[in-house]
Structure 1
């Protein structure tokens, strides 16, 4: 039986405390805030998108960075294992569109209360309002941690302090400093699942489109693409499709992207559609005719970008201008002038390099009884419950193998 300390009472820490106690260890969970799971309460707008019920194969397609590292932890504790755990401990769930899973009460608080009850049954000691100040290591072995209340000797420490998203919840990058102190590499930390700032879209603020395709290209090579809804804002672009793309874009430091506004049609099909619309009412203005196909403000925006006078009659539009309009519809370029910050971010892109962590145990390869789990690691996924599952899986493995 080992004496185990866990630093951080978010999803990874809660799960690590459970699995470590299940293995028969004496476990103490330290949380710097006055309550556990403060950031967890914000997920899914307070409803808590616990996980995604998709298949294993699909799950990994939604992990943006270092998906391979997760293979072992997901095999040891999957989304289905999580759902079984919650059901067995009095927290039933419901599944909604795209596999998103929520507690049936639609309250994140009930998930936290479920864990608190489980940890009490497992005799886990919970210490809130007690931050870890330092971790003591001698001869590549953890000896204990220090808090404002003194020194706690330890046989193993699990760091689950989260990343830097939502800093008002206490996520201020503490775990990165602990890792740095012992020579671990930190990949640059950037805000993830955020909006994109672009001066090119200001005139479209408030407009939403249900199905477009975002593309990032390098020459003719497509580096990234995703289809779904987007929202134009006063600052730029948002919506689920944009949030998902942001994790890739921000790490690659992309300066622009393209949007295909009619992904279901080829360039030639688009051309024929426009030709038919223009020929239908040859003496009407191009603005009026195209409004049968597209939202009014969007038509105005497109015409300005291709330098067509909105009052120009349809029968005066040249073939060249029509093709130019088609090309804009199929590959409209937008500059990327910036991104939402950590106050907006749902997750951190970057963190402790997974090359220095054992994927089967979450242990540091330099200090075997020092482990890291959750958002503090260089792992991130798209929206839809994937990031929380990263925390549940890595937290479980860290505790179970201590």
Structure 2
């Protein structure tokens, strides 16, 4: 987009992922020359692998209470809702021309094509239409804030320096390092005076050593998990998958951060309990007390995958050939416990290598909730995963990236209004 400001120092957006591409789009749309710097050759690597290659663009509804942060929840809410969900969907469908379809059983919005590449390419193509200039295969190694002028210096590998009117950091966190996430953003903001809440792998599979359930690898089902919070209980329902090393699936990922943060101290390790079916302890107890023909094994296998049913019966010490009337009280109690409140014997996790997002990050209080401008280094704008916030599986983290990226791009452009051309 050619403007009368094309000779001014540009806005430099660092990181061409979800938040960065959106920041670049909205900065350029305000008539500001915008450079998009990316360490990989094509950008958007996490977009490409999200949703198993389908890209869960958005959830069907957004509740700020579902997000996790150590910062102010009120600030989180302001940032998240700065771009309402309906407007985000309209942007994808009308501006990017990527029709979205609701997956009824999960409540997730995917591109109708079921191709994550369409989302990544659509964002970058639209950025190009707005005049965004790509600077790919280039890593930022340092940021120097203005001294005697209002111009930032962005230092790239190889020694190249770019004079920038404003800088947007959308470098992501530490999750899935194969996509280019290496924590560079955290290093840069620390050097500029920001604090960073302790980071940790979030939405990552849990492991167990020894692998006590390795023989169940491949068994999947819908479950309900519970883990204690400082106040109350975190509950997560959804898919659960036994792996050769432990446990995965949306339900596991959504409670994993509690386990990860407690893993360093075995004495304080957070317990995770599984309710394997829709039936809670009371429902199972009632069913097992009812008179009727048929063996216990058949009763349990009708409600659970056979391999899991047999394993749970074995762990409960219940003969599957016995009938309900033959169960002793203590046997029924043990069986109800493993069916409705089973303690997962997790001992570790898969870490950043398989984590969907990074927990922790820059405290939200250090960023203006409206513009995403740093309160520590004016002229610097932060968005996406580098901030202390993440949501559950299901498009929530993209929703955060789109909203904060847009706000950062608009904020960076607005901060230049009134400066001499």
TM-score normalized by structure 1?
A: 0.88
Which sits farther off after the overlay, 59-68 or 154-163? Answer: 59-68
Whole-Å separation in 2 of the counterparts to 1:280 and 1:104: 49
Whole-Å separation in 1 of the counterparts to 2:124 and 2:318: 63
2:293 aligns with one of 268, 271, 280: 280
Higher strand share: 1
Deviations along 1:122-162, whole A, 9 cap, x unmatched? 22211111211210024597622111352211221011111
Q: Are the aligned partners of 1:142 and 1:370 in contact in 2 as well (CA < 8 Å)?
A: no
Q: Which runs of 5+ in 2 are unaligned?
A: 264-268, 413-421
1:53 aligns with one of 44, 51, 60: 60
1:231 aligns with one of 230, 241, 260: 241
1:352 aligns with 2:362: yes
Deviations along 1:41-64, whole A, 9 cap, x unmatched? 11122222111232xxx4324323
Q: Are the aligned partners of 2:274 and 2:341 in contact in 1 as well (CA < 8 Å)?
A: yes
CA-based RMSD = 2.6
Whole-Å separation in 2 of the counterparts to 1:112 and 1:302: 44
2:225 aligns with one of 214, 218, 221: 214
User: Kindly tell me: are residues 290 and 79 of structure 1, through their superposed partners in 2, closer, same or farther at Cα, counting changes over 3 Å?
Assistant: closer
Equivalences for 1:305-320 in 2 at 5 Å?
305-310=315-320, 316-320=326-330
Q: 2:331 corresponds to which residue?
A: 321
2:91 aligns with one of 71, 85, 92: 85
Deviations along 1:291-317, whole A, 9 cap, x unmatched? 455444333322332333456676543
Whole-Å separation in 1 of the counterparts to 2:241 and 2:81: 36
User: Kindly tell me: are residues 24 and 382 of structure 1, through their superposed partners in 2, closer, same or farther at Cα, counting changes over 3 Å?
Assistant: same
User: Kindly tell me: are residues 319 and 144 of structure 1, through their superposed partners in 2, closer, same or farther at Cα, counting changes over 3 Å?
Assistant: same
Q: Which runs of 5+ in 1 are unaligned?
A: none
Q: Are the aligned partners of 1:136 and 1:145 in contact in 2 as well (CA < 8 Å)?
A: yes
1:257 aligns with one of 242, 266, 272: 272
1:241 aligns with one of 251, 268, 293: 251
Q: 2:213 corresponds to which residue?
A: 201
Q: 1:62 corresponds to which residue?
A: 66
TM-score normalized by structure 2?
A: 0.85
Q: Are the aligned partners of 2:140 and 2:155 in contact in 1 as well (CA < 8 Å)?
A: yes
1:107 aligns with 2:121: no
Whole-Å separation in 2 of the counterparts to 1:36 and 1:290: 49
User: Kindly tell me: are residues 296 and 32 of structure 1, through their superposed partners in 2, closer, same or farther at Cα, counting changes over 3 Å?
Assistant: closer
User: Kindly tell me: are residues 289 and 121 of structure 1, through their superposed partners in 2, closer, same or farther at Cα, counting changes over 3 Å?
Assistant: closer
1:164 aligns with one of 174, 179, 185: 174
Whole-Å separation in 1 of the counterparts to 2:51 and 2:350: 18
Whole-Å separation in 1 of the counterparts to 2:325 and 2:279: 27
User: Kindly tell me: are residues 325 and 130 of structure 1, through their superposed partners in 2, closer, same or farther at Cα, counting changes over 3 Å?
Assistant: same
User: Kindly tell me: are residues 5 and 291 of structure 1, through their superposed partners in 2, closer, same or farther at Cα, counting changes over 3 Å?
Assistant: closer
How many Å apart are 1:94 and its aligned residue?
2.1
1:75 aligns with 2:81: yes
- Runs of 4+ in structure 1 off by over 6 angstroms are none
How many Å apart are 1:382 and its aligned residue?
1.0
Q: 1:380 corresponds to which residue?
A: 390
User: Kindly tell me: are residues 82 and 274 of structure 1, through their superposed partners in 2, closer, same or farther at Cα, counting changes over 3 Å?
Assistant: same
Whole-Å separation in 2 of the counterparts to 1:91 and 1:303: 49
